[in-house]
């Protein structure tokens, strides 16, 4: 069982009995549920600021620095869905777009633009993947059986659209023109991106 989110003192203390060797969940209504030996609890948390020493002592800790992990493992996991519909070659092309353009977008947004609210990079990548999934995988707009040049053009154009809304969707209006110029210059050299600019 994976619990993803902030630790709250109201519910984490109730987990102490599950985290013991006997793996017995004691509910507030006096009901008891015995976990099987192969069941495990995983807590993915930001910090343990409100967890008691009793809870902390029952858990093994693995600290992963967000800067070390990065956003690419998320993309590589997500892109498997894309491979099922479009095949290996097209998937590698899409992964190449991520590798080539996403980090440059983060650098621009973090250094030369003003964001409406602070947002972590993985949040932007998650939005980019969700938009691409809705347009390319779930939607019927792009036919996987197109010839290679047309398929690449369709994917690249869709990628640019999703890129603008995910990387730049959180920017304040005073940064829109600069971001527009940045994106135009960034994708101008890519022959597959025949985008009709209507920003």
User: Are both 88 and 176 inside the same structural domain?
Assistant: yes
How confident is the model at residue 66, as a pLDDT? 67
How confident is the model at residue 194, as a pLDDT? 62
User: Are both 172 and 115 inside the same structural domain?
Assistant: yes
Please report whether residue 197 resides in a domain: no
How confident is the model at residue 103, as a pLDDT? 92
Q: Which of 17, 36, 63 is the last residue of a domain?
A: 63
Residue 154's domain comprises: 68-187
User: Are both 154 and 75 inside the same structural domain?
Assistant: yes
The residue ranking higher by pLDDT, 196 or 96, is 96
Q: How far apart are the first and last CA of the chain?
A: 45
User: Are both 181 and 87 inside the same structural domain?
Assistant: yes
154 in Cβ contact with 96 (< 8 Å) = no
Q: Which residues pair with 34 in a beta bridge?
A: 24
User: Are both 110 and 55 inside the same structural domain?
Assistant: no
E strand residue ranges, the chain: 2-4, 24-26, 32-34, 42-44
* Dist. CA 149–CA 151, nearest whole Å: 5
DSSP secondary structure letter of residue 113: S
Pairing of strands 32-34, 24-26: antiparallel
Of the listed ranges 39-43, 52-56, 156-160, 192-196, the one predicted with least confidence: 192-196
pLDDT at 174 over 70: yes
User: Are both 98 and 171 inside the same structural domain?
Assistant: yes
Quick one: CA dihedral 2, 5, 11, 16, positive or negative?
positive
Pairing of strands 2-4, 42-44: parallel
Q: What is the pLDDT of residues 46-89, one digit of tens each?
A: 777 888 888 888 888 887 776 677 889 889 988 988 887 888 88
1 in Cβ contact with 40 (< 8 Å) = yes
User: Are both 97 and 179 inside the same structural domain?
Assistant: yes
92 in Cβ contact with 152 (< 8 Å) = no
Please report whether residue 104 resides in a domain: yes
User: Are both 76 and 152 inside the same structural domain?
Assistant: yes
* Dist. CA 163–CA 114, nearest whole Å: 17
């Amino acid at each position: 069982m994976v619990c993803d989110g902030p630790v709250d003192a109201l519910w984490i203390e109730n987990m102490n009995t599950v985290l013991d060797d006997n793996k017995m969940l004691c509910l507030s209504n006096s009901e008891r549920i015995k976990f099987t030996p192969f069941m495990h609890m995983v807590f993915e948390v930001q910090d343990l600021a409100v967890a008691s020493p009793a809870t902390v002592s029952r858990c093994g800790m693995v600290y992963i620095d967000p800067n070390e992990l990065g956003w690419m493992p998320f993309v590589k996991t997500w892109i498997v869905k894309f491979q099922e519909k479009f095949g290996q070659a097209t998937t590698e092309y899409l992964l190449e777009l991520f590798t080539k353009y996403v980090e440059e977008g983060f650098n621009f947004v973090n250094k030369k633009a003003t964001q409406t609210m602070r947002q972590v990079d993985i949040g932007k990548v998650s939005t980019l993947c969700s938009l691409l999934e809705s347009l390319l995988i779930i939607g019927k707009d792009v036919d996987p059986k197109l010839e290679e040049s047309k398929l690449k053009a369709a994917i690249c154009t869709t990628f640019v659209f999703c890129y603008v809304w995910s990387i730049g969707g959180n920017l304040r209006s005073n940064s829109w023109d600069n971001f527009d110029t940045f994106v135009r210059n960034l994708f101008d050299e890519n022959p597959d991106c025949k985008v009709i600019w209507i920003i």
